[in-house]
Amino acid sequence: MIRRSPIETKVNHERWLISYADFITLLFGFFVVMYSISQVNENKYKVLSDTLESTFSNIVDSGIKDTDSNDIEGFNNNSNLAELTELSERLKESLSSLIDDDAVSVFANEEWVEITLNANILFTSGNAELAKDAKKLLTSVADILVPYDNAIAIAGHTDNLPISNTRFQNNWALSSARAVSVVNLMSFQGINPERLSAVGYGEYRPIVSNDTAQGRIQNRRVVLRVGRDAATTNILPLEHYVNAQHDDTDKGGAQKKITLELPSERRESVTPRPRPTASENAVKPVRLKGGGLLFSRDPNLPRNNPPVE
């Protein structure tokens, strides 16, 4: 029998080129599609942009400006507001000697004029009563600010040394009392109290480090900030408080209704509730269902058990 020689199969080591070519073809098609959809019609885009800009500008002009901003602008126009640059120059001229001694500084920007007064020229240590020279200084500042309607915020600051006297329990109280003292003097000198506000920051807003004595001196200060705008007060009508009802939920899940009444001077006279007598306030023993005793001033509520005879 004739034996056939086996057929040798040649191994192809370059089949990966087929997959690689398919991948490159797909990648090429992907970038062609991305390039095609990235071409924007500039004319249509400009039309859309102009339409959106016109629509939103009309809303702002006709809606918001006609309501809130008009009221605010009208209020400011009717107020006698100082121009901050001119006000700053007048204050610097009036306080020039103290500015040269680094006891006072005046800073101005587009929003406010800030007058920083060293507390050592206003108060004695641990005290919130203005010194005699401090009253003269603040009076000269008040004379410049009286004719205008700009809002004035007064802030008191201290160093980080704990205070130790019977009048002020901490630096919060001291800084707040000092700010209020300045507010009271400004009001006494003729500045409308509605323009004034006072706040105490204690030791928590230093301008330099408290590690040195000089730094602590700079941090003990009172700052007067004169705003660009007038002070606004949101006053709610009396009807807002009359018969105002609030729904609340007690611990048991039941709804209870609280009704606010008119102020005491307009409230109708009512018969005062008599005070409970000594016998009514006495503690009485209550026998519980389990046989125990409970001592209570109110033996009938909420158990409805008769007192022990």
pLDDT of residue 203: 93
In a domain, 145, yes or no: yes
Measured at the CA of 109, the angle between CA 187 and CA 137, to 5 degrees, comes to 35
Is omega for the bond preceding 162 within 30 degrees of 0, making it cis? no
In a domain, 291, yes or no: no
Range of the domain at 97: 84-230
Q: Extract the residue ranges of the chain whose pLDDT is less than 70.
A: 1-2, 8-9, 11, 39-42, 44-45, 58-79, 233-284, 286, 288-309
Q: Using one digit for the tens of pLDDT, what is the confidence trace for 170-184? A: 999 999 999 999 999
Q: Is residue 277 part of a domain?
A: no
88 within domain boundaries: yes
Counted domains in the chain: 1
In a domain, 208, yes or no: yes
So what's the pLDDT on residue 216?
A: 92
Contact 156, 177 (CB under 8 A): yes
Residue 221 maps to which CATH number? 3.30.1330.60
The reply to whether 76 falls in a domain is no
Residue 299 sits at φ, ψ, to 5 deg, of -70, -20
Q: What is the pLDDT of residue 196?
A: 94
| End-to-end CA gap in the chain | 132
pLDDT value at residue 224? 94
**What does the pLDDT read at residue 290?**
62
Q: What is the pLDDT of residue 260?
A: 46
Residue range 45-78, pLDDT digits in tens: 677 777 777 777 765 555 544 444 444 444 445 4
In the beta sheet, which residues pair with residue 307? 286
Q: Is residue 24 part of a domain?
A: no
Task: Give whole-number Cα distances, 103 to 83, 167, 222, in Å.
Answer: 25, 27, 11
User: Would 98 be classed as within a structural domain?
Assistant: yes
